Amino acid sequence: MAIEKIEMPKLGESVTEGTIEKWLVKPGDTVNKYDPLAEVNTDKVTAEIPSSFAGVIKEITVQEGETVEVGVVVCTIETEGGAEGNAEQVSQPAAVPAKEEPANEMPAAGSQKPASPLKRGAGAARFSPAVMRMAQENNIDLSLVEGSGKEGRITRKDLQAIIDSGEIPTAAAQKVEPVAEVVQAAPSQEARPVNKPAAPEAIPTAAGDIEIPITGVRRAIATNMLRSKHEAPHAWTMIEVDVTNLVQYRDSLKNDFKQKEGFNLTYFAFFVKAVSQALKEFPMMNSMWAGDKIIQKKDINISIAVATEDALFVPVIKHADEKTIKGIGREINELASKVRSGKLKSDEMQGGTFTVNNTGSFGSIQSMGIINYPQAAILQVESIVKRPVVMNGGMIAVRDMVNLCLSLDHRVLDGL
């Protein structure tokens, strides 16, 4: 017998942590290699953690709702063959086991530690980095919090419940200064406090009000949208486009196309193809802000927004400029089906360089999109509607018109 560790996997290029949304197994369950163990949510995607071994679940070390860094052990499995019998195990980043983690201290940038450690709740095994950060941002004294996790461990759900209640427990006597609130200054400068976000205002409720818990996916969407609006100075513009010829062309093909290919030929596929070609002509639109430089991306990978009843996902059409309209249409259909069936993989949401959003499918005729950070722009394709248009020579004709609405990052792109 051997005890093997399952770690929080890296589910994206820039993903550093994940939240256990739901455990699909419990201690004592027998699992096979590659069986799903838990649903995990990151700021990029919701996915499943597969088992790297066949055996029996020994211990679950990270509770539902808890956020931990990539590489942290989330559960252990008792196997018969040990490491020798699992030569093909799934590769995951190395991590320090939870029991070896300092119980009361959270390292800051550099190597400095708090002058005195925060107290721990009774029976708490440890404070995760996410719990520490959340407590510090909202000025919560963890010694006054009763944890609902295993062995009294404090989870993000516990802190979120306190924040939502508006009753923040703070130490009445000796106050500990959390180290994360101080910027490590250069030797010739004094350390300056960082401005912390204010705790959310308590909203009064009345009879009949419905409280909807925030899911990991909803929280990730909120975090990304807030970051985009805070960091990227949005500029917005709209143009009207006469697409009468496109409508006539597509209508002449759609019935035969559906019968032959098995899926609908949508207007959206034409717009994605047009955008991919335009990005080749105007490559700065296919760029990203990187702090001290702008990165102009070589590949043209179009992110498309696909909505479910309770969330929004953004799968990516890779190398869209190299694909035909039929190929793009097929990929749009397949990606949308995967989103709605919950089968979208994390790598299918990575690498996007520009986003095209089909807001017209909801009947919208004008909208201002929030940029899909760190991309430089997003295009909203609105509904195609018939309008009277003044043609050359002063004649008025009924034409098929569409509004194209562009939001752009003014750090990367100017109005021109």
Among 209, 292, 310, 414, the one annotated catalytic? 414
Q: Is 234 tagged catalytic?
A: no
CA 120 – CA 169 distance, rounded (Å): 14
Q: Is the dihedral of CA 55, 56, 60, 64 positive or negative?
A: positive
How many Å separate Cα 98 from the centre of its chain?
A: 25
Contact present, 133 and 66 (Cβ < 8 Å): no
277 sits in the region (left: phi over 0; alpha: psi -120 to 50; else beta) called alpha
CA 332 – CA 337 distance, rounded (Å): 9
Q: Is 47 exposed, middle or buried (0-12, 13-18, 19+ CB in 10 A)?
A: buried
Among 256, 299, 319, 410, the one annotated catalytic? 410
Contact present, 51 and 29 (Cβ < 8 Å): no
Q: Is 410 tagged catalytic?
A: yes
Name the residues annotated as catalytic: 410, 414
